[in-house]
Amino acid sequence: MNDAATPTDAAAHPAPAAAAPVKRTPLIAGNWKMHFDHLQAIAFVQKLAWSLKDAQHNYGEVEVAVFPPFTDLRSVQTLLTADKLAVALGAQDVSPHASGAFTGDISAAMLKKLDTKYVIVGHSERRGGHGESDETVGLKARAAVDAGMIPVICVGETAEDLEAHGAAAIPVQQLTAVLAQLTADATFVVAYEPVWAIGSGEPATPAQAEEVGKALRDVLRAERGDDVANATRVLYGGSVASQNIASYMKQPNIDGALVGGASLKVDEFSRIAQFTKHVGV
């Protein structure tokens, strides 16, 4: 009898453990942009919460966040607190400054006071429409982190960039520049949003989203090490809908979505959040 593999030996010489699969909680985030006043916002969040409750949504399994305009944040916060709703609150922008003579700006401390968990920084509509540089985006991300919030750092190439440099080059460059402004222990989310896919009805293919998602994770690994690279969520955004969300969520380097237009329709956004039920369709 060959006794080389007795239980005692197995205990003394355990086989090397296989690398544990990386588990990141997916995030489905609705960027409302400049839609909904505070009354519409309250009605929307109430309906969303009912819809997800009906569907027995597990927020621990798939996190759901809404990003209303600034004027809605207080109303939505009050509703979330009063009804103990698990939907997370996000803001669409933040000032890089702590306080002072910055007419029209909103500070990170003001947002934090409203229980804001996430802040979008560097959306292409601000980079393009408001001339925000990578440095400004980095400073905004830092302001959010310093106040105890999680920046959702948006990166993405224009159609011209895609033609000239391929999909990943500009997003990689933008993320690298923002990381230069953040401390090593900062927690953040990255959102890959190709500019040409936003609001166009022409989403990136899942393979393309994965290619860039992987390139962004490689940047995280090189700049921050394995732990940060494995823990950080990389979202895809640009014409996401309930029909295509599952195809993105099957990609190993895509951990959620930043949804624009489809996040304004309760049933559609609720279906997107429930992608686990239609993965494989």
Tell me if residue 13 is catalytic.
Answer: no
Contact flag: residue 260 with ligand 13P (CB under 6 A): yes
Least separation in angstroms between residue 35's CB and ligand 13P is 10
Return the number of the residue (87 or 272) whose C-beta is nearest ligand 13P: 272
Phi, psi (degrees; rounded to nearest 5) at 186? -70, 140
Residue whose Cβ sits closest to ligand 13P = 260
Dihedral (CA of 103, 109, 114, 115) sign: positive
Length of the chain: 281
Of 132, 193, 210, 211, which residue is the catalytic one? 193
Name the token pair of 66: 């809404």
Considering only residues 65 to 124 of the shown chain, the ones binding ligand 13P according to CB under 6 A are 123
57 catalytic per annotation:
no
CB neighbourhood size of 7 (10 A): 7
Q: What is the full DSSP assignment across 123-192?
A: -HHHHHHS---HHHHHHHHHHHHHTT-EEEEEE---HHHHHHH-SSHHHHHHHHHHHTTS-TT---EEEE
Does residue 202 contact residue 162 with C-beta atoms inside 8 Å? no
Q: According to CB under 6 A, which residues from 185 to 214 bind ligand 13P?
A: 193, 198-199
Among 95, 116, 232, 239, binds ligand 13P (CB under 6 A): 239
Q: Which of residues 27-56 bind ligand 13P (CB under 6 A)?
A: 31
266 interacts with ligand 13P by CB under 6 A: no
Q: Which stretch binds ligand 13P (CB under 6 A): 47-55, 80-88, 232-240, 266-274?
A: 232-240
- Closer to ligand 13P by CB, 228 or 245: give it: 245
| Stretch of 44-52, 78-86, 131-139, 234-242 lying at the interface with ligand 13P (CB under 6 A) | 234-242
Give the interface size with ligand 13P as a residue count (CB under 6 A).
14
| 258 near ligand 13P, rule: CB under 6 A | yes
Options 57, 63, 123, 157, the catalytic residue:
123
Interacting span for ligand 13P (CB under 6 A) from 37-45, 169-177, 221-229, 255-263: 255-263
Longest dimension (CA), the chain: 84
Look up tokens 């969300």; give the residue.
245
Stretch of 8-16, 216-224, 237-245, 270-278 lying at the interface with ligand 13P (CB under 6 A): 237-245
Q: How far is CA 175 from CA 3, 33, 81, 96, 135, in A?
A: 55, 22, 34, 17, 11
Check: CB of residue 256 under 8 Å from CB of residue 233: yes
Binding footprint of ligand 13P on the chain (CB under 6 A): 31, 123, 193, 198-199, 237-240, 258-262
Catalytic residue numbers? 123, 193
